[in-house]
Amino acid sequence: MEKTFLLEVSKPEQTMLCGEIMGKLIPRGSIVGLTGDLGAGKTVFAKGLARGLGITQEPNSPTFVIMNCYEGKVPLFHFDAYRLSGGAEFENMGYEEFFYGDGVSVVEWADKIRDVLPANAVIIDIQSQPQAALESRTIKVMGEGKWLLSFRNTAEQALLASKR
Ligand SMILES: Nc1ncnc2c1ncn2[C@@H]1O[C@H](COP(=O)(O)OP(=O)(O)OP(=O)(O)O)[C@@H](O)[C@H]1O
Ligand SMILES: [Mg+2]
């Protein structure tokens, strides 16, 4: 069953924390699509994800190379589709090898490759709200894995604790 829920964060560290918690719970072979405007915090979330997967190297933005690979207990394939014209270009780079392997794939600007993104991908949409504080973001999570329930509970509790 498809789940959708929101996480409200008030600073970059909390976005990172959400990514880290997801990295600890996400099953191998998962695909995460990140959407949201320039500077929304997609790379910050991906950095957290890497940390949660036990990767010590900190990802930076792969904008100029389409994909970076990070070795950890579970490998992370970090894509950035910003410069792609669409799914066809993504297909030409042989993305299947990564998407359908046993690592975790994360794609920034996933809306650019909607047509090749599998239906079971988890979508994380990060938005800032016009009236809200500069560093506030609403993180919308959409997906169908059972593990997303534990992710939601753990993230909500961690966010509460970090606000205290
Ligand atoms: N709540 C927040 N979560 C994440 N980043 C935040 C938040 N508040 C402020 N920021 C700042 O916004 C910027 C987000 O940058 P980031 O590179 O993660 O964005 P992005 O969505 O990957 O952008 P791009 O589309 O250029 O790849 C960082 O400088 C970060 O410090
Ligand atoms: Mg980015």
Least confident of 2-6, 56-60, 65-69: 65-69
For a pocket test of ligand 1, which of 10, 11, 43, 66 has the largest count of ligand atoms closer than 8 A to its C-beta? 43
Number of domains into which the chain is organized: 1
Tell me the helices (H) and strands (E) count for the chain, helix number first.
Answer: 5, 7
Give me ligand 1 centre to Cα 18, in Å. 14
* 3-class DSSP assignment, residue 97: helix
Question: Cβ-count burial of 122 within 10 angstroms (0-12 exposed, 13-18 middle, 19+ buried)?
Answer: buried
For the beta carbon of residue 94, count every other beta carbon within 10 angstroms.
10
Give me ligand 2 centre to Cα 108, in Å. 6
- pLDDT reported for residue 24: 97
- pLDDT reported for residue 60: 87
Average pLDDT of span 56-80 = 87
**Which ranges of the chain does DSSP label H, i.e. alpha helix?**
12-25, 42-52, 87-92, 96-99, 147-163
Q: Strand 104-108's sheet: what is its strand order?
A: 3-9, 137-143, 122-127, 31-35, 104-108, 76-80, 67-70
- pLDDT reported for residue 107: 97
Residues with CB under 6 A from ligand 1: 9, 11-12, 15, 36, 38-44, 61, 108, 135, 137
**What distance lies between CA 138 and its chain's CA centroid?**
14
Residue 11 maps to which CATH number?
A: 3.40.50.300
At residue 61, does pLDDT exceed 90?
Answer: no
Report the C-alpha gap between 121 and 76 in whole angstroms.
15
Q: Which atom of ligand 1 is nearest to the CA of 63?
A: 27
Instruction: Categorize the per-residue pLDDT at 34 as very low, low, confident or very high, splitting at 50, 70 and 90.
Output: very high
Q: Which domain holds residue 95?
A: 3-163
Q: What angle do CA 5, 59, 84 make, to 5 degrees?
A: 75
Q: How is residue 82 written in tokens?
A: 């910003």
Q: Which atom of ligand 1 is nearest to the CA of 126?
A: 21
Q: Which atom of ligand 1 is nearest to the CA of 46?
A: 18
Pairing assessment for the beta strands 104-108 and 31-35 based on DSSP bridges: parallel
- pLDDT reported for residue 63: 63
Give me ligand 1 centre to Cα 1, in Å. 30
Least confident of 91-95, 105-109, 111-115, 143-147: 91-95
